[in-house]
Amino acid sequence: MHAGLLDAVTSLRRRAHVPGLSLAVVDRDRLVFAGGFGAADLAGGRPATPSTAYLWFSLSKLVTATAALRLAEEGRLDLDAPVGTYVDHLTAPGPRQPTVRQLLDHTAGLANPLPIRWAHAAGDGAPDPAALLRRVMSRRRAYRYPVGESARYTNLGYLAAGEVISTAAGRPFEEYVRQAVLGPAGMHRTGFAYRPDANAATGYVRAPRAADPVLRRLLPAGVAGPRHAGHLALNRFHVDGPAYGGLVGDVLDAGRFLRLHLGDGEIDGTRILRPETTRAMRELNRKGKPFDHGVGWFRRPTRGRGDWVEHLGTGAGFWNIMRLYPDRGLGVVVMTNSTSGFDVEPLFELLVEAPWS
């Protein structure tokens, strides 16, 4: 382990009250480091490892965007077609219609409803994203902003993108993603459900005991679990919109996804996207507040140095970040089992400056 890394992670976990953390660093050709720190589960004392599975939440959007562009390269999806071409109830009320591309770069003008109840306890059946989308789109002002004018981050846009992909591919969204992205990229431990043999992290919300009644009312039935060491534990659950936040997997597979994008669409001799398509995803040409958006990737204003793009994946019980440094040829992913966010820049600077070669 690189000198200082253990101290940096230990300090970060202590300050942010993070029970467990897994991370991986990759270059274009290989996994250069992976580690687990702390506990995947506090009650059982099970340690976090590189193969611990976490809910990805919005890191899933990067995979969705990659799948959409793969489908476009196959000639089955027109990124510049109105979204209503594929899903009728996505037609906007005005004359200006959003395109598929605008769903992917958050400029379609859609609202961003709080998705805290767009989830269900594992074992309560499969989600129905088509029904969820129809229900949300039937409400007033689903289209809240002018189409195409500025980037406004929205989970609803990627929920819609998943249904567009499903229609264009002629199969369920999850099936197409497995066939077109996860399988070819060698991401065999990642999917839209917990694997029976998965070393899965328990998600935790750090909050005073007095907040438990409120949290239990807010969370979907069966999700809130017991208390442990100042945290409310969460039972396993699934996100109802696979395309915007439904993946479950480990940092090793996330590292393979980063390698795919460092390789401009190719990993271990398997090409999934053309180089020009992959590079175009990183072009931050859609100004938003507070992020600058590309297709899938974005960049926040931070004090971090260098040329990079990233995505966060945060929600009940988990806080994750994936960052790509194309100029350095490095990718870093950090996954944690706590809702608590933290300043990741000191750790990332240490990781990207380390002499890994």
SS (H, E, C) 150-192: CECCCHHHHHHHHHHHHHHHCCCHHHHHHHHHHCCCCCCCCEC
More confident residue, 3 or 273: 273
**Percent of the chain's residues with pLDDT above 70:** 96
Question: Which amino acid type is present at position 167?
Answer: T
Q: Are 331 and 259 in contact (CB under 8 A)?
A: yes
Q: Are 312 and 62 in contact (CB under 8 A)?
A: no
pLDDT tens digits, one per residue of 224-260: 999 998 999 999 999 999 999 999 999 999 999 999 9
Q: Which residues are CB-neighbours of 183 under 8 A, at least 6 positions away?
A: none
Instruction: Give the CA angle between residues 47, 189, 220 to the nearest 5°.
Output: 75
Q: Are 234 and 202 in contact (CB under 8 A)?
A: yes
Question: What average pLDDT is seen over the chain?
Answer: 93
Q: What is the pLDDT of residue 4?
A: 80
Q: What is the pTM of this model?
A: 0.95
pLDDT tier for residue 292 given thresholds of 50, 70 and 90: confident
Residue 58 dihedral angles phi and psi, to the nearest 5°: -75, -5
Tell me, which fold does domain 5-353 have in CATH?
A: Beta-lactamase (3.40.710)
Does the pLDDT of residue 123 top 80, yes or no?
yes
Provide the 3-class DSSP secondary structure of residue 254: helix
Does the pLDDT of residue 14 top 70, yes or no?
yes
pLDDT tier for residue 3 given thresholds of 50, 70 and 90: low
pLDDT tens digits, one per residue of 93-106: 989 999 999 999 99
Domain boundaries, the chain: 5-353
Does the pLDDT of residue 83 top 60, yes or no?
yes
Q: What is the pLDDT of residue 52?
A: 98
